[in-house]
Structure 1
Amino acid sequence: MPECDHCGAHVSDQFERVFADPDGRLRACPACSSRAGIAETARERAPEM
């Protein structure tokens, strides 16, 4: 089962398909971020390239 790379909480396969970045990393999940802001939080936590 996939897990959040930020907090280690388990997430569903569907959540991973929707919110993982192109490298397959999950930088936010419902356990460590508000549901309304998961995508924004993930972008904020991603390292700049």
Structure 2
Amino acid sequence: MPTCDHCGAHVSERFARVFADENGEIRACVSCSANAGIEQAARERARGA
């Protein structure tokens, strides 16, 4: 089962298909980001990595 690379929470396969980056990394999930800001948080965390 996929996990968030930021907080380690489990996410669904469907969530991973939608929000993972081109390398399959999930940088934000509903456990560590507001629902409306998942995509933005993921982009910001990717830039900082």
**Partner in structure 1 of residue 4 of structure 2:** 4
Compute the RMSD of aligned alpha carbons: 1.0
- Moved runs in structure 1, 4+ residues, more than 4 A? none
Residue 47 of structure 1 and its aligned partner are, at CA, apart by: 3.1
C-alpha separation between the residues in 2 aligned to 1:46 and 1:34? 17
Query: Per-residue displacement from partner, 1:5-47 (whole Å, max 9, x unpaired)?
Result: 0000000000000000000000000000000000000000003
**Partner in structure 2 of residue 29 of structure 1:** 29
Relative to its length, the structure with more helix (as a share) is 2
Percent identity at matched positions?
A: 65
C-alpha separation between the residues in 1 aligned to 2:39 and 2:33? 9
Gaps of 5+ in 2: none
**Partner in structure 2 of residue 40 of structure 1:** 40
Gaps of 5+ in 1: none
